[in-house]
Amino acid sequence: MSYIYQKRSKNDLERIAEIVLGRYANRCSGCFIDIEGIVEDCGITILSRRGGLNNFCEGYVAENPRYIVMPEAYASYQPRYRAILAEEICHTILEYDLLSTNGTLPTDAKPHALTDQQHKDIEADAQYLSLAVLFPKTIFIAKFQKHLDEAPEASKERRDKHLNYCVTKLECDFSVWPLKAAYRARDLDLITDAECRKFFSDRVPM
């Protein structure tokens, strides 16, 4: 196994998302992607931890990559919990070549010793891939445009209200935190980076 991580292009990450969604098609129902089910199918166990872990991190892949550790505090809000879990399983997918197997981790899988730059690359790629999995591209674009078109006329008078209406609806569609819906819209050039930062990143509580 290679212990060198090479940053992926957006096109590569979109293709990986398509592979994941195709392999686990039984875990996809309309807009809802059962990320917990995909984790289970991969033979990975989710460990819930108390004690303020959320003050230090949102979650992580354990030294034994067959375990993902999640702060219990996030379990009460499933749209955010699912987004965090998706990012952690995407770390596993990207770092351990999960997709080259039959849906389970190779027996010799070990955490990679990443350089600082590789760490930044894998973080960015895992974030992008998690959104591509939770918000399948074609479905997301169609839903985004539908909500923009059907928004109340009053909200259309201001861009921030219009977009906030849209991402709130997307949270209901996909059961994923609206901030992540805004990031996916940015990644797909449906909104600008400036709009994302102005209307969402600097306003939605982390």
Task: Report the 10 Å Cβ neighbour count for 186.
Answer: 19
Over residues 100-134, the pLDDT tens digits come to 555 555 566 555 566 778 778 888 999 999 999 99
Over residues 43-53, the pLDDT tens digits come to 888 887 776 66
Q: What is the pLDDT confidence band of residue 1, given thresholds at 50, 70 and 90?
A: very low
Selection from 198, 200, 173 nearest residue 79 by Cα: 173
